C-alpha cells in the first residue's frame, strides 16, 4: 500500500515469518502447542513496545481461522466492547468458531471496562487476547486475570534484529529497488533497544533523508539523522525508556526543573499517568526512604489520585509529587539494607533462629528451650533491653547503616543509645 510505514509493510502473517519469542512460539513451545492444537484459551501478552504482541495476536487468529476484532483501550469504551460481544452472540447460533477479541493496551482500561468483558470471557463467547506493557498483576482486575494465561514477551535479541534488517532489505518492495549497504549496524541496534518497530522506524528515517542512488548506512549517519528528527521521535513515544530514566535521575539528583521537564515530555507524548505514578512510588522508597518517610505517603496518595482522576487534571498532582520528591533529602539506606540482607540469606542459607526467639506453642517445645530467656522489651526501662536477634553465625553483621540526613541522624543517635557499641559513637 502506498505511503504505508516500513514496519507495517513488513508485518508477518504467519509464525514462519515471525521473528523472536522462540520461548513462546518456537517448535514445541507452550503457545505454539496451543495454536497447533486449535484450543486457545484467553491470554494476556505482556512485554515492552515493539516486540510483536499485536502481530502475534493477528497470526493466532489467522492460524485458527477465527473472526478477529481489535480494540484499542485508548479510544474504545464499554459500548465498543458490547458491540463486539453482541456480534459474537449473533454468530454463535451458526456453529461458527468463537471470535478473538484483541485489546491493545488493556492496562489502560478502567475497572468498569474490564468488568464488561468478564461475562463474555467466562461463557466462551469470545477468546480474549490482551496486550500490555505494564505488569498485569497491577492493571488487570483479578477476576479477569484469573481467566487468562499470561505470557511474557522479551525484547528482541541482536540476532533477531539483524535478521529483521536483512529481511527488510531483501523482501520489502520499496527497499529492494534501492542500493543499500549496511556498513555498520551498532547505532541502529542501540537506538532500537530491542524494539522491532523502532528499528524499522529508525531505518526508514535514515533512508528517507538520502538522495543518492547508492546508500551506505554507518553509525555516524544514523546518529546524525536521529538528532535531526528527535522531536518527532519523542512525540511518538519511541524514547519511552530514555525519558523515564532521565526523569528518575533528575529527581534522584535533586533537580525539580529537570524532573518537571521530563514529566512534561512524557505527558505530551501520551504516557500512561499510572505508569508515571508507579515509578514515583518506587522512587519514594528507593531514593528518598528514611531521609523523609512522608515521601512514601505522598507518592501513595498521588498513585491513588491519578487512578481516580485521569488527565488532564492528573498533570497537576504528578507535578506536585515530582517537585516534592526532587526537593526532598535523599537516602537509599533501606534499599541497601534489604539487598545486603538478601545477599546474606543467599550466601549463608537459612540459619537456625536463636532458641529464645522461637515460638513455643507446645510443652515439648518449651522443654527443649524454645522461647526461654527471651526478654520482653516493654518490661524494661525505655521499652528496650539488649539481646541477640540474629542467628549466632552472623551475630555481628550489620545491614542497615543510617545515612547523613537529619532524620537518620536522629535514628543513629537512638540506635547508639540502645546498642552502645554496635553503632559505635
Average pLDDT (225-251) is: 67
Q: What is the pLDDT at residue 31?
A: 92
Per-residue pLDDT tens for 150-179? 999 988 888 999 999 998 888 888 888 788
Per-residue pLDDT tens for 267-295? 877 778 888 999 999 999 999 999 999 99
Q: What is the pLDDT at residue 367?
A: 66
- Its pTM stands at 0.58
Q: What is the pLDDT at residue 361?
A: 64
Task: Give percent of the chain with pLDDT exceeding 90.
Answer: 23
In the chain the domains, ranked by start, together with CATH numbers, are: 21-152 (3.40.50.300), 158-235 (1.10.8.60), 240-326 (1.20.272.10), 349-419 (1.10.3710)
- How much of the chain is in helix, strand and coil states, percent to nearest 5? 55, 10, 35
Q: What is the pLDDT at residue 302?
A: 94
Is pLDDT above 60 for 230?
no
Grid cell digits, residue 316? 497537576
From CA 170, how far away is CA 148, in angstroms rounded? 38
Q: Quick one: CA torsion of 68, 69, 72, 75, rounded to 10 degrees?
A: 160
Bond preceding residue 312 cis, omega within 30 of 0: yes
Q: In which band, very low, low, confident or very high, does the pLDDT at 260 lie, cut at 50, 70 and 90?
A: very high
Q: In which band, very low, low, confident or very high, does the pLDDT at 102 lie, cut at 50, 70 and 90?
A: very high
Closest residue by Cα to residue 238 from 210, 280, 271: 271
Q: Which residues contact 420 (CB under 8 A, 6 or more apart)?
A: 386
Task: Give percent of the chain with pLDDT exceeding 70.
Answer: 91
From CA 375, how far away is CA 379, in angstroms rounded? 8
- β-pairing, 149-152 vs 214-217, is unpaired
From CA 257, how far away is CA 243, in angstroms rounded? 14
Q: What is the pLDDT at residue 232?
A: 44
Write out the H or E segment, with its range, that includes residue 105. Answer: none
Q: What is the pLDDT at residue 43?
A: 93
Distance set, CA 69 to CA 88, 101, 110, 124 (Å):
10, 5, 20, 15
Q: In which band, very low, low, confident or very high, does the pLDDT at 425 lie, cut at 50, 70 and 90?
A: low
**Which of 188-192, 196-200, 365-369 has the lowest average pLDDT?**
365-369
Q: What is the pLDDT at residue 369?
A: 65
Grid cell digits, residue 15? 509464525
Q: Which residue has the higher pLDDT, 263 or 375?
A: 263
Is pLDDT above 70 for 244?
yes
CA 248-250-256 angle, 5° bins? 120
Per-residue pLDDT tens for 364-418? 666 666 667 777 778 778 888 787 878 888 887 888 888 888 888 888 888 888 8
What SS3 state is found at 291?
helix
Q: What is the pLDDT at residue 173?
A: 84
Q: In which band, very low, low, confident or very high, does the pLDDT at 362 lie, cut at 50, 70 and 90?
A: low
Q: What is the pLDDT at residue 84?
A: 86
Amino acid at each position: 500500500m502506498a505511503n504505508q510505514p516500513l514496519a507495517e509493510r513488513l508485518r508477518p502473517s504467519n509464525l514462519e515469518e515471525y521473528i523472536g519469542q522462540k520461548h513462546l512460539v518456537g517448535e514445541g513451545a507452550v503457545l505454539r502447542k496451543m495454536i497447533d492444537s486449535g484450543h486457545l484459551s484467553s491470554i494476556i501478552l505482556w512485554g515492552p513496545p515493539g516486540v510483536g504482541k499485536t502481530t502475534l495476536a493477528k497470526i493466532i487468529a489467522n492460524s485458527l481461522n477465527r473472526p478477529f476484532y481489535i480494540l484499542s483501550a485508548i479510544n474504545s469504551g464499554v459500548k465498543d466492547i458490547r458491540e463486539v460481544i453482541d456480534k459474537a452472540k449473533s454468530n454463535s447460533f451458526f456453529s461458527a468458531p468463537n471470535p478473538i477479541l484483541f485489546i491493545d493496551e488493556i492496562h489502560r482500561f478502567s475497572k468498569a471496562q474490564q468488568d464488561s468483558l468478564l461475562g463474555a470471557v467466562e461463557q466462551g463467547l469470545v477468546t480474549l487476547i490482551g496486550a500490555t506493557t505494564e505488569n498485569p498483576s497491577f492493571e488487570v482486575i483479578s477476576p479477569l486475570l484469573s481467566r487468562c494465561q499470561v505470557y511474557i514477551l522479551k525484547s528482541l535479541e541482536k540476532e533477531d534484529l539483524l535478521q529483521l534488517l536483512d529481511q527488510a532489505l531483501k523482501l520489502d518492495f520499496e527497499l529492494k529497488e534501492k542500493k543499500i549497504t549496511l556498513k555498520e549496524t551498532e547505532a541502529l541496534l542501540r537506538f532500537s533497544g530491542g524494539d522491532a518497530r523502532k528499528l524499522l522506524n529508525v531505518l526508514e528515517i535514515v533512508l528517507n533523508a538520502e538522495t543518492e542512488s547508492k546508500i551506505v548506512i554507518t553509525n555516524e549517519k544514523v546518529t546524525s539523522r536521529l538528532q535531526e528528527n528527535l522531536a518527532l521521535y519523542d512525540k511518538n513515544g519511541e524514547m519511552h525508556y530514555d525519558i523515564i530514566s532521565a526523569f528518575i535521575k533528575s529527581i534522584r539528583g535533586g533537580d525539580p526543573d529537570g524532573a518537571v521537564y521530563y514529566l512534561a515530555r512524557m505527558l505530551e507524548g501520551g504516557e500512561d499517568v499510572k505508569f508515571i505514578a508507579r515509578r514515583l512510588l518506587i522512587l519514594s522508597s528507593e531514593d528518598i526512604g528514611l531521609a523523609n518517610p512522608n515521601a512514601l505517603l505522598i507518592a501513595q496518595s498521588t498513585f491513588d489520585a491519578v487512578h481516580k482522576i485521569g488527565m488532564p487534571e492528573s498533570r497537576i498532582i504528578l507535578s506536585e509529587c515530582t517537585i516534592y520528591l526532587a526537593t526532598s533529602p535523599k537516602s537509599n539506606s533501606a534499599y541497601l539494607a534489604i539487598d545486603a540482607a538478601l545477599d546474606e540469606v543467599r550466601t549463608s542459607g537459612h540459619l537456625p533462629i536463636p532458641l529464645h526467639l522461637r515460638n513455643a506453642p507446645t510443652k515439648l517445645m518449651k522443654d527443649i528451650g524454645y522461647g526461654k530467656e527471651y526478654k520482653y522489651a516493654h518490661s524494661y526501662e525505655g521499652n528496650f533491653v539488649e539481646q541477640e536477634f540474629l542467628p549466632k553465625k552472623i551475630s555481628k553483621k550489620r545491614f542497615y547503616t543510617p545515612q547523613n540526613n537529619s532524620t537518620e541522624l536522629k535514628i543513629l543517635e537512638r540506635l547508639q543509645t540502645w546498642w552502645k557499641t554496635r553503632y559505635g559513637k
